[in-house]
Amino acid sequence: MKNETIVLLDFGAQYNQLIARRVREANVYCELLPWNSDIEKIKALEPKGIILTGGPASVYAPDAPLPDKAVFSLGVPVLGICYGMQSMCHVLGGKIAKAEKREYGKKDIVLKPSPLFLGPETKTTCWMSHTDQVETAPAGFVSAARTETCPNAAVMDTERRFFGVQFHPEVEHTPFGGDMLRRFLYDICGCSGDWHVGGFVKECVASLREELKGHKVLCALSGGVDSSVAAVLTHKAIGKDLTCVFLDHGLLRRDEGDQVEAVFRKDFDMELVRVNCEERFLQKLAGVREPEEKRKIIGAEFINVFEEEAKRLGRCDILIQGTIYPDVIESGGPSAQVIKSHHNVGGLPEVMDFKAVVEPLRNLFKDEVRAVGLELGIPEFLVNRQPFPGPGLAVRVIGEITAEKLRILKDADAIFRAELEENGAAKAIDQYFAVLTDMRSVGVMGDGRTYDYLLALRAVTTTDFMTADWADIPHDLLRKISNRITNEVDHINRVVYDITQKPPATIEWE
């Protein structure tokens, strides 16, 4: 069954994926396409509506990205957000100008009665980020909202069902944004909300069963949620014709390799090949301190080991990848035939001995993948596994990586995680982990002087991982965690807690 579809035309928005997620969260399927997508491709999707995203350009720049005027002749509703609103108004004959006063951040706004903002005139707040604004709306448009310095903070042409907002409804800083998007989707576009995870699982398994019939299939299993869900979906479709290859390179958290093996070998009775290659990876990383070099070495070696195992097994002619929709978007747009350099297994080579590459999750966002995982019965600890860097603990050990430093970090990280979870603090934190720094400091234990490692703890709260705040963990709990780590883990004599927001910091240290 074909789902109702909303098309998002992307003009380089910082929040393009967030807009798409908000639409999906409203149970409406959407696809994100480049702004200059062929009009026939857009029409082929039979969209119920179109959303024009924001972007960094000015409509008067020589190479400004502008929507094809044919978009506005499809007979479907259009919503322009930020630059999307400006580009729509420009193409339809309005005038865009530099704002007398740029608006960035939280701003007061007055919403006028309209199909987007039901009810009487309302004063509220929104999130702005613009230099240009609509000075004169096109013929047929009227103002639908205003701020102190932006008289056309929203515009509308209700007869043609064209709407534009200068603010960002997709971010949590616009409190009415979610309701506004749902009104556009349901009241204006007439969507029924037919996008559900349960339906996806049934249709995907049936599709895989048909597509993979008669083939032997190989899945590169990292232990992360994406490749895990792809593996279980495929296993439900073809059973023993699937073989999973799990490379345990020693850079996972404590006991994770054993947990992954137990889940897939015992809970799902899969054909699983576990390759224990920690020593091989440590040899490649010996003496390497620079984080980007670590990433390249790990990615390349992952490919080498996987290719060796694929050739050894020999009998498989189809490769399953856990590619998800953000990977597709970040790799230059949807393309069903391309093996990408950006995905969760570190970048497989373009030439391998497979007849085809199948990506069952390529249209799903991370939160949707997690929901599918729970629907499939994958244990919650694996489905809700926190974001974990592709190079694993290699970028949470600052400086050179050794087996001893990895042991220290794994033990300390396990204590941190266990205490947060056992004391009920973990549920309010979106990501938490320990970092073994390359710094040593003087300490005292018993009657003796020590000169050992400084360990940093990191815990953040966030809704989209684009911005993040440090988590306010109770001081008594931090004290307990620090005491346990310094008493139970050798070679750590000092623990610090990172209280830096993102930005200016990133969530990971490297």
- Supply the residues annotated as catalytic: 82, 168, 170
**Residue 82's closest CA among 153, 149, 24?**
153
CA dihedral 504, 294, 426, 265 (to 10 degrees): 150
- Give me 125's structure tokens: 């707040």
CA distance linking residue 21 with residue 181, whole number of Å: 11
27-46: burial string, b at 16+ Cβ within 10 Å, e else: bbbbbbbbbebeeeebeebe
N-terminal to C-terminal alpha carbon distance within the chain: 44
Q: What are phi and psi of 244, to 5 degrees?
A: -100, 135
**Residue 390's closest CA among 309, 336, 327?**
327
Question: Strand (E) positions, 342-489?
Answer: 356-358, 431-445, 448-461, 469-470
The residues with which 242 forms a beta bridge, in sequence order, are 217
Residue with tokens 């856990």, as numbered in its chain? 322
CA distance linking residue 184 with residue 170, whole number of Å: 13
Could you count the other beta carbons within 10 Å of the beta carbon of residue 463?
11
